[in-house]
Amino acid sequence: MNGILLINKEKDYTSRDVVNKLIKILHTNKIGHTGTLDPIATGVLVITIGKATKLCDLLTSEKKEYIATMKLGIETDTLDITGNIVEEKAYKVNEEQIKKVLNSFLGKSIQEVPKYSAVKVNGKKLYEYARNNIEIELPKREILVESIELMSYKDDLITFKCLVSKGTYIRSLIRDIAYKLNTVGTMTDLIRTKQGIFNIEDSYTIDDIEKGNYKLISYEEALSNNEIIDIDEDTFNKVVNGSIIDKTFNNKIALLRYQKNIVAIYQEYSKDNTKAKPYIMLITR
């Protein structure tokens, strides 16, 4: 079994929990995922199966869309509602102020990652430092907020939709939004509605998978934003042996298709851009 499967992850499951369940249901150990979701979060989790596990890097380098809900007036150590409250602060905001602050996050900015995260510093994950009460300078990274819009505001809850770059922590974004509103805030709910070309409407629940009600996505469909080159038998024989070939594609990488099947992904090799070498092999002899 080889291909990509879209899962609509349920709340309170880790991404690893989903993989473990699928291993039992699909009877294969060769399963991975791209774009980890916190247990509190639901929505699109892109699962790779079989040889498709080699595609994880290509599938994670995409923008992601979320619908997030934040609670004003409290901040927790995990920056979501599952954590311990570390600060409480009064707030006084209106819809116009919220929209103005949300819009201020459009474009590129520097974000501090949460201390409860899997980002590594000196070989250890940040949450390992946090659980042992070890203070450490939190890494900062550049993020891009491509779009952000207010969906609703009632009482102490703000719900917004955003399209962000890979590596953006919505928990941190919520913390920073609250600070700009002159208060504190924490995430109460998060739905990933889109990852790259993959939409929540096309995803399946674990129950669907158990009942056999699902369809795998092909390499060609999953990587449709990449160039596809049809190759002849002679080139195929070279490719299947991992040989360097003449570069006949325009971009840095391309999917090579032989007899309607994607057999490999090749990348630019020589300085004069005339040769290409294997990047990911999807078929071998």
At 23 the pLDDT is 94
* 38 has catalytic annotation: yes
* Burial of residue 123 (number of CB atoms within 10 Å: 0-12, 13-18, 19+): exposed
Q: Across the 285 residues of the chain, what is the mean pLDDT of every consecutive 10-residue run?
A: 92 92 93 88 94 84 91 96 95 96 96 86 84 86 96 97 94 97 97 94 95 91 89 93 90 91 89 87 76
CA–CA gap between residue 135 and residue 121 (Å, rounded): 12
38, 77, 80, 202: which is the annotated catalytic residue? 38
Cα atoms in the 13 Å half-sphere on the side-chain side of 169: 23
Find all residues with CB under 8 Å of 124, minimum gap 6, and list them.
Answer: none
Class of domain 64-192: alpha beta
At 130 the pLDDT is 82
How many of the other CB atoms lie within 10 Å of CB of 38? Answer: 23
CATH of 3-62+197-220, one of 3.30.2350.10, 3.20.20.100, 3.40.50.2300, 3.30.1360.40: 3.30.2350.10
At 192 the pLDDT is 96
* Burial of residue 120 (number of CB atoms within 10 Å: 0-12, 13-18, 19+): exposed
At 34 the pLDDT is 86
At 86 the pLDDT is 95
At 133 the pLDDT is 83
In CATH, what number does 226-281 get?
A: 2.30.130.10
At 141 the pLDDT is 92
At 60 the pLDDT is 76
At 285 the pLDDT is 59
Pairing of strands 41-49, 185-195: parallel
List 143's β-bridge partners, or say none.
109
Start-end of CATH 2.30.130.10 domains in the chain:
226-281
Q: Which of 92, 112, 116 is nearest to 175 (CA)?
A: 112
Start-end of CATH 3.30.2350.10 domains in the chain:
3-62+197-220, 64-192
At 132 the pLDDT is 84
